[in-house]
Amino acid sequence: MNKVELENDALARRGIAVIKDGQSPAGAYIASPNFSQYGFCWLRDGSYCALAMQAVGQWASAWRFHAWVASAVGARLAGVDAPGQARLPARYRLDGTPEPAQSGWANFQLDGYGTWLFTLYDAVRLGPSSSEIDAVLPVAVDVADYIAASWRLPCFDYWEETADRLHTSTLAALAAGLRAAARLTGQPGYDATAGEIVAFMRERCVAGGGFVKAVGDARVDGALLSLGVPFGLVGLDDPLFQTTLGRIRAELSSPSGGVRRYVGDSYYGGGPWVLLTAWLGWCDRLIGDDPGCARARDWVRAHAGPDGTLPEQVIDEPQAPDMVGVWLDRWGPVADPLLWSHAKYLLLLAGREVPPWS
């Protein structure tokens, strides 16, 4: 995205402001400032916010996030005798402390740690050199050791569900994080482990000629876009990825063209998610499908609120209509704004390229 394009896109300008306003003084990006359940920083959500801010030149904001992660995660890893003994959480409070254990909301999740390493590598690879980035590298090594020791452990998926499986999107984040760590540290062993993970995915996470949601779950998931964009673990023209992309379009598209998480989703009715629709548009931009990119961009724009904020999902096209009211009664209206919805729109516009791993 060039400066003129950015200045001429009101939703992009609004998104940058939303992400900046949602960053705590310590550097954490809140998931959503207006949704009581999302008053935390998820490493995955926050890492995509940082990736988007890096893509639009907002380096100071992104580096504050990286420093916050290093502080929060470094404190959790301190005193752990072996990396495989840690069970790090998906989300932290904005001051970097863990969520109280008695909250009752399951929190063991691995994907955010790999996504952070990938995003940190993007900052180092494309941003100006910085002693601030160098200062977080020791924690990056500890995180890489942690995920290298833990990648075979079942954990919750992107959506805080199904804790007893190995999820393909989680494995992709871990492999990408280890590839990033190898380049950040010069330690080729991380690349070797990343290769093991990719080989495992190709053997155990494929059915019908494409990648599937998890080992033992042959559904497709919108988050499988990550294998190609941004992680670059498979080529965008790889037949496995092309089949996966085709299933996402065929099985997860709503009547208006939004993208759902997976078939059978009932959270707020399982409607289309803004960030997944933008993610598909980002992928289409990189594969040269300009009409597809434009459709996704226009769909996202059409679902922005009156004040230019992007919600988590749209509830007027549910796949489980009877569950919409259940969730509205339980938690109120859907999260709006959701920061990583804005992040994915910025990444769509920026067309952030897949890193060259070779």
Active site residues: 157, 160, 312
Is 154 exposed, middle or buried (CB count within 10 Å of its CB: 0-12, 13-18, 19+)? middle
User: What does the block give as tokens for 61?
Assistant: 């904001």
Only one residue has tokens 């498979």, namely: 234
Q: How far apart are CA 36 and CA 206, in angstroms?
A: 37
Give the three-class secondary structure for 192.
Answer: helix
Buried b (16+ CB within 10 A) or exposed e, 236-254: bebebbbbbbebbeeebbb
Residue for token digits 């096209």? 317
d(CA 279, CA 251): 16
Determine contact, residues 138/148, Cβ cutoff 8 Å.
no
Query: Quick one: which H or E segment has residue 42?
Result: strand 41-42
CA dihedral 118, 119, 125, 126 (to 10 degrees): 150
